[in-house]
């Protein structure tokens, strides 16, 4: 399709699977990275998304190489789990800064080019945890729930300009983030999943790719769960 696609945190995990799926479609894909190296054929832009100056520099680099961003995927995220009584201000702020404030930041910057083009696609990677909550993840759940409010507000604000904003809400997915959890907790979580397994990063990428494509042009403000049924009812 050869669109200019920008994915935050596309150097590993879910973001990398999204980047590979969209590059395979012929899109010009750029990803942020701080660790490792993105694979060949994908433009890696060094960027910490919590720093407004680095985000501005990343957009400029992408615009120069690929043109204005037409598809934005706000994927980068972190966890800093703790029960509320042990959750520090820093744990709360860091998770909100990466998962929510940075998504606002990249969406705002991408909107500039999208308004001019009178079209655009934004996909925010949320979580089932943002809809159902999770003990030990008050910071993460609040940030992911915030993405739903952000996306739905943008859907209303930008719909008349043919810009869509949707959320994909993955359940437990086999990446470094999940690997950080203790095995007994993982086993207990998998037991609660109707499809009986964790998601593969490719399962999430398929939904993002679809929402960013022509077939989903009439879908905006939606929250699409990709969770094996774990979040049903929310
Ligand atoms: P990983 O931990 O595997 O990867 C996280 C990605 O985010 C990395 O690319 C990392 O880049 C990037 N990142 C984190 N902080 C920053 C920052 N400040 N600036 C730039 N990039 C940053 O996570 P996943 O692939 O599993 O997660 C991707 C998204 O999916 C996240 O939003 C996560 O919350 C969500 N999700 C994941 C689930 C799971 O079970 N895995 C379930 C539900 C949602 P770097 O390598 O440079 O650190």
- pLDDT, averaged in runs of 10, over the chain (234 residues): 94 96 97 88 96 98 98 98 98 98 98 98 98 96 98 98 98 93 92 97 98 97 97 82
Ligand 1 site: residues with CB under 6 angstroms?
8-9, 11-15, 32-35, 47-50, 75-78, 98, 125, 127, 170, 172-173, 175-178
pLDDT at 181: 87
ipTM: 0.99
pLDDT at 39: 84
pLDDT at 1: 72
pLDDT at 9: 95
Return the ligand 1 atom nearest residue 50 CA.
Answer: 18
pLDDT at 196: 97
pLDDT at 129: 96
Return the ligand 1 atom nearest residue 12 CA.
Answer: 9
In CATH, what number does 4-225 get?
3.40.50.720
* Pocket perturbation via mutation, ligand 1, pick of 76, 100, 125, 205 by most ligand atoms within 8 A of CB: 76
Q: If you take atom 10 of ligand 1, which residue's CA is the nearest one?
A: 9
pLDDT at 54: 98
DSSP of the chain, one letter per residue?
Answer: ---EEEETT-SSHHHHHHHHHHHHTT-EEEEEESSS-PPTTSEEEE--TT-HHHHHHHHHHHHHHH-S-SEEEE---------GGG--HHHHHHHHIIIIIHHHHHHHHHHHHHHHHT-EEEEEE--THHHH--TT-HHHHHHHHHHHHHHHHHHHHHGGGTEEEEEEEE-SBSSHHHHTS-HHHHHHHHHT-TT-SPBPHHHHHHHHHHHTSGGGTT--S-EEEESTTTTTT-
Return the ligand 1 atom nearest residue 13 CA.
Answer: 25
């Amino acid at each position: 399709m050869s669109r200019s696609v920008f994915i935050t945190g596309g150097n590993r995990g879910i973001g990398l699977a999204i980047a590979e799926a969209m590059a395979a479609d012929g899109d010009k894909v750029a990803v942020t990275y701080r660790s490792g190296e993105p694979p060949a054929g994908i433009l890696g832009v060094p960027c910490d998304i919590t720093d407004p100056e680095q985000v501005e520099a990343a957009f400029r680099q992408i615009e120069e190489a690929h043109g204005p961003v037409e598809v934005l995927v706000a994927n980068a995220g972190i966890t800093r789990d703790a029960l509320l009584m042990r959750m520090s201000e820093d744990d709360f702020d860091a998770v909100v800064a990466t998962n929510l404030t940075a998504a606002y930041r990249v969406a705002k910057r991408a909107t500039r080019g999208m308004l001019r083009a009178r079209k655009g696609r934004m996909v925010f990677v949320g979580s089932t945890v943002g809809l159902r909550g999770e003990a030990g993840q008050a910071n993460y759940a609040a940030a992911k729930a915030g993405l739903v409010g952000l996306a739905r507000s943008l859907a209303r604000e930008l719909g008349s300009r043919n810009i869509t904003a949707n959320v994909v809400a993955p359940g437990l997915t086999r990446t470094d983030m999940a690997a950080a959890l203790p095995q007994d907790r993982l086993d207990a979580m998998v037991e609660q999943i109707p499809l009986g397994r964790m998601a593969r990063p490719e399962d999430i990428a398929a939904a993002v790719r679809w929402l960013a494509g022509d077939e989903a042009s009439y879908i905006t403000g939606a929250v699409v769960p990709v969770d094996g049924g774990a979040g049903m009812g929310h």
